[in-house]
Chains A and B, each alone.
Chain A
Amino acid sequence: MKKKLLLGLTLVLAASVFSACGSKQDDDGQAADGNGKVTYTMQTWDSSWKWDTPINKQLEEKTGVSFDYVPVLDSGATTGKVDVWLASGDYPDVINEAPLKIGKYKDAGALIPLEDLIDQYGPNIKKRFGKYYDLLKDEDGHIYSLYGVNLAKEPSPDSQPSFVVQYDVLKDAGYPEIKTLDQLFDVLQNYYKKHPKTADGKDVIPFSGLSGGLLDITPGLNAAGLPDHGFYAIDGNNNVSYALTSDANKEYIKFLNRLQRAGMLDKEIFSLNAETAGAKITQGRVLASYIPGWLMRGYEKSIIANGDFDKQYAKFSILANETVVDHSNALTPTSSSTNLAITNKAKHPERIIKLIDYLFTDEGQILVNWGIEGTHYDVVNGKRVKNAEFDKKVQSDPTAAAAAGIVGPFNRFSFGNGAKLDDGDYATPVTTDYIASTYDDTTKDVLSHYGKKTWADFMDKPEIYPTMMWQLNTPEDAKPIAIKLEDIWHKEIAKAILAASDSEFEAAWNGAVEQIDNNGKAKLEEMMTGVWKEFMERYNQAVK
């Protein structure tokens, strides 16, 4: 017995000893010199990506650089791993983060400035950014992160407005082009009177959706014609105001209240999430809603898979009333969202810059957006076309795209869908023609009634904005106020939506406005105005 015990104890002790020497090989496998093959560790935000793909192999051949992906699964709230990295100094060579987090790394002194390297090794980066190059710079004149430049002058052909209306409803009404909330209300009411139940006996829900911001913030601001600056609206003098309590937003909340009083609003809209709302939509019970494209696509795949082509949804750009001008279709010159930064751990960072520079050449763009000729795309009559076989593979196997390397951390350097390269052809396969060709016959038919080719055509003329508010580095002290106001908003505006009479509605609305005012709105507006004005100064300087 004693022996067994001693063995057990020795095991434990040995374990601790081994653990101590277990991890000395914490190196990054970097080459000693500046030439030859080099491997860097890079943080990625999608764990399905792997380096070992044909496209990445090509990249490696061209530049000699390869990457070890380190996936970070932190969601917004739990920033455990990133904080831990900063505190322990264990971060990888290359990080990919939102501007706010990049700021954190910068403050910690973990990032290296890139402008000299770009001057030397990144001629294509400079060329493509053109007059927007200085936008990459920080207040202190250094460049700490890289992102893509948007050379497309039109919105992406696969973008779509977020107000969705079921085909059946439109057919029944003779394909009206719905432009205002009142129009939508009338169309829905007429259809609902005639069809209170679906073909298989379930209740029809005229208007449904997800709870939270997609219920009471985003659609309202959208209908008010505001560009997507998060919670804010920016006037001509670069003053930032909190848009939720503005009169423009009130129209939409009134609309929801009207629906509710007419019994047309989903009874449980306040507790629906993507899954439960999605179930109702894919079952064809919902006549209209506000669902952004990235979410809608998933639902429509299900509807199509079930063969319910006429239960698909048309996407309209709907405004509060006739007088509202739609500024919501925004384009920014750069595609800053998840940005790349190089940490002080990387040896010979110029190799990385060289790789990114390659991505800014026509050849590089074709490689990451189109793929390899013959495998992922073909050249037909001088124009690039998706390779039919590969396309079919991607359609049927959700992992095929990642396995080929056609999706990965480099796509964000794309020049934009609809942009053209120096050879006159498109930079990416996502073109109007291609998107139009993916539509099923029912969709094509519906679109033809409106004389449009794709849903993107319903979006108003795009406007170029220097940047969107959420792309900027907001001051840390602004965040708690913003969060608090958002919570107050959700709680108070629910009362307005549920109001049973006009007077009740007004009281609830005013109550919400008052609460927001009393809890720091002015301070928040002040801080954000400061941030915006400061950015505009730099922007105007840079773009002169």
Chain B
Amino acid sequence: MRKRTTAGGVVFNVLNYAMLSVLTICTIYPFLNLLAVSLNESLDSLRGQVYLWPNSFTLENYKIVFQNDALYGATIRSIARTVLGTALSLICSVMLAYTLSRKEFFLRKPINLIMIVSMYVSGGLIPTYLLIKNIGMTNSFWVYIIPGLVSVYNVIIIRSFFDQLPEGLIEAGRIDGANEFQTLFRIVLPVSMPVLATITLFVSVGHWNSWFDNYLYNTRDNLNLLQYELMKILMQSTQQVTSNATGSVASESLRQITPQTIRATMTIIVTVPILFVYPFLQRYFIQGIMIGAMKE
């Protein structure tokens, strides 16, 4: 195989690298800016001239946030939710998607319809809350996992991927006498790494970032998640600014942690773990994963 490098190819490469570099610089700006703000003294940030570098370096903001003892338990719970939720969700979504990619499955069309329609209908906040309450999931850890167990969007993506797998793959399995479970787990999944990595990313990020279900359904402090605790800190700093502080002792504090600073600190705290997870999954986005399976 000869690789032909043409002049056009070189130009394209240079332009490509250049364009992507510009894109990278543009998109990294918010993150660097937030990092700078989070490391900048809160009152100084009010002056608004923090761009890429803190003008008045301090670790105070992180200290204040971490001072909150509730964060430790909340982080553990968030990790537990993310790991358990992602694992269960993956298994269930993959199973459902697999059945929908089997053209001979007799319930295929009705289930597809049920799923698609469910994506666009919603009963609203109150009926959903009453439902959760009536099945006893309020104030419980499982409300984080069960209602969101099967995301139709994810199932459809996985199904679409399965649809594009060559029939020969499945046939080979059938010939060897594999049943559906074995076909799925031994044959289909190993060559589906890219889509599995993608869905793992989507689902785990979803779990890691969610706080509204925490807020709505769980009033016990010992069920709180990281994002919710951080959200509380943010809300309270916003409220302290807007609440009528006349006569309030708190307003006399010369230090004030502004919502702007909290938001920046929060974003960094929540985003950094995700930044570590992605590169780990990224190695599955390598072309040629299929090769191994096809070569008999």
A interface with B by C-beta (< 8 Å)? 1-2, 4-5, 8, 11-12, 15-16, 18-24, 26, 45-48, 70-71, 73, 80-81, 83-84, 87-88, 90, 156, 158-159, 274-276, 278-280, 282-283, 293-295, 297-299, 301-302, 304-306, 337, 394-402, 406-407, 411, 414, 416-417, 428-430, 438
Q: Are B256 and A294 in contact (CB under 8 A)?
A: no
**From residue 41 to 98 of chain B, which have CB atoms closer than 8 A to chain A?**
41, 43-44, 46-49, 64, 67, 88, 91-92
**Given A18-B142, A70-B219, A299-B46, A88 contacting B136 (CB threshold 8 A):** no
B241 cross-chain contacts in A, Cβ below 8 A: 274, 294-295, 298
Who on chain A is nearest to B218 by CB?
A: A23
Q: Please provide the chain B residues from 228 to 258 with a CB less than 8 Å away from any CB of chain A in the complex.
A: 231-233, 235-236, 239-258
CB distance from B199 to the nearest CB of A (A): 16
Query: Inside 8 A of B245's CB, which chain A residues have their CB?
Result: 293-294, 297
Q: Are B46 and A429 in contact (CB under 8 A)?
A: no
Min CB distance, B44 to chain A, in Å?
A: 7
CA A294 – CA B126 in complex, angstroms? 35
Which of B9-17, B109-117, B181-189 participates in binding chain A?
A: B181-189
Per the bound structure, the CA–CA distance linking A304 and B244 in Å amounts to 22
Is B197 an interface position by the 8 A CB rule? no
- The distance from the CB of A6 to the nearest CB of chain B, in whole angstroms, is 9
State whether A294 and B242 are in contact (beta carbons under 8 Å apart), knowing that A22-B137, A84-B126, A283-B49 are contacts in the complex: yes
B258 CB contacts on chain A under 8 angstroms: 298
B129: chain A residues within 8 A (beta carbon): 84, 87-88
**Among A1, A276, A400, A428, contact of B253 (Cβ-Cβ < 8 Å):** A400
> Contacts A275-B260, A293-B246 hold; do A80 and B216 have CB atoms under 8 A apart?
yes
Q: Closest approach, in angstroms, between the C-beta of B251 and any C-beta of chain A?
A: 6
Residues of A within 8 A of B43 (CB): 301-302, 305-306
Give B194-232 as 1s and 0s: 1 = Cβ < 8 Å from A's Cβ atoms.
000000000000000000000110010000000000011
Residues on B with beta carbons closer than 8 Å to the beta carbon of A70: 219
Which residue on B lies nearest to A401, using beta carbons? B250
Q: Are A46 and B240 in contact (CB under 8 A)?
A: yes
Mask of B245-279 contacts with A, CB within 8 angstroms, 1/0: 11111111111111010000000000000000000
Known contacts A11-B88, A47-B233, A304-B254: does B181 contact A5 (CB below 8 Å)?
Answer: yes
> When A295-B241, A395-B255 are in contact, do A87 and B130 touch as well, CB less than 8 Å?
yes
Chain B residues with CB under 8 Å of A275's CB are 46, 48, 260
Determine if A398 and B246 form an interchain contact, defined as CB atoms under 8 angstroms apart: no
Q: Which of B125, B182, B215, B243 contacts A46 (CB 8 A)?
A: B243
Shortest Cβ distance from residue B132 to the other chain A in the assembled complex, whole angstroms: 9
Decide: A396 near B254, CB < 8 A? Known: A16-B142, A19-B140, A428-B247.
yes
| Distance to closest chain A CB from B66 (angstroms) | 12
Chain B contact-residue range equals 35 or more
Q: Footprint of A on B, CB under 8 Å?
A: 41, 43-44, 46-49, 64, 67, 88, 91-92, 125-126, 129-130, 133, 135-143, 145-146, 149, 181-182, 185-186, 215-216, 219, 231-233, 235-236, 239-258, 260
Write 20 A-B pairs (CB below 8 A) sorted by A numbering: A18-B140, A19-B137, A22-B142, A73-B215, A84-B126, A84-B216, A279-B48, A282-B47, A282-B48, A283-B48, A298-B241, A298-B258, A301-B256, A302-B46, A396-B254, A398-B256, A401-B250, A402-B250, A417-B247, A438-B252
Q: A275-B260, A398-B250 are in contact. List 5 more A-B contacts (CB 8 A).
A: A16-B142, A46-B236, A83-B125, A302-B43, A396-B255
Say whether B253 contacts A401, CB under 8 Å.
yes
B216 proximity list for chain A (CB < 8 A): 80-81, 84
Q: Which of B141, B239, B243, B254: most chain A CB closer than 10 A?
A: B254
Contact B248 A22 (CB under 8 A): no
Chain B minimum-CB-distance residue to A277: B48
* Minimum distance in angstroms from B50 CB to a CB of chain A: 10
- Chain B contact residues, majority secondary structure: helix
The answer to whether A23 touches B139 (Cβ under 8 A) is: yes
CA distance A394 to B67 in the complex (A): 16
Cβ B46 vs Cβ A298 within 8 A: yes
Contacts of A23 in B (CB 8 A): 136-140
A438: nearest chain-B partner, CB-CB: B252
Question: A24 to chain B: which residues have CB within 8 Å?
Answer: 136
Q: Give bound CA distance, A16 to B149, whole Å.
A: 11
**Chain A residues within an 8 Å CB radius of B251:** 158, 294, 297
In the bound assembly, the distance between CA atoms of A120 and B44 in angstroms comes to 54
| A47 touching B235, Cβ below 8 Å | yes
- Residue contact B240 to A395, C-beta cutoff 8 Å: no
Instruction: Report the nearest A residue to B133, measured CB to CB.
Output: A88
Assess the B46–A282 pair: CB atoms within 8 A. Answer: yes
**Chain B residues whose CB sits within 8 angstroms of the CB of A397 once the complex forms:** 253, 255
- Find A19's partner among B143, B182, B215 (CB 8 Å cutoff): B143
Question: Whole-angstrom distance from the CB of A435 to the nearest CB of chain B?
Answer: 9
Distance to closest chain A CB from B45 (angstroms): 8
- The 3 tightest CB contacts between A and B, nearest first, are A279-B48, A22-B140, A19-B142
Assess the B136–A21 pair: CB atoms within 8 A: yes
Known contacts A12-B92, A279-B46, A298-B46; is A429 also within 8 Å of B138 by CB?
Answer: no
B135→A19 contact, CB < 8 A:
yes
Candidate in B92, B149, B241, B250 with the most chain A CB atoms within 10 angstroms: B250
**Complex: how many Å from CA A48 to CA B91?**
40
**B124 → A minimal CB distance (Å):** 10
Chain B min CB distance to A364 (Å): 17
B63 to chain A, nearest CB (A): 10
CB closest chain-A residue, reference B45? A302
Bound state CA distance, A241 and B233, in angstroms?
Answer: 41
CA distance A20 to B136 in the complex (A): 5
Closest CB of chain A to B222's CB: distance in Å? 11
Cα–Cα distance between A21 and B141 once the two chains are bound (Å):
12
Residues of B near A429 (CB, < 8 A) are 249
Asked if B64 and A398 sit within 8 Å, CB to CB, the answer is: yes
CB atoms of B149 and A398 under 8 A apart: no
Contacts of A402 in B (CB 8 A): 250
Residues of A within 8 A of B255 (CB): 301, 395-398
Max chain B C-beta neighbours (<10 A), residue from A159, A275, A301: A301
CB distance from A201 to the nearest CB of B (A): 13
Given contacts A83-B125, A298-B256, A397-B253, contact A417 B246 (CB under 8 A): yes
- Residues of chain B within 8 A of A20, CB atoms compared: 135-137
Across the interface, A87 reaches (CB within 8 A) one of B126, B139, B186, B232, namely B126
Contacting residues, chain A, for B133 (C-beta < 8 A): 88, 90
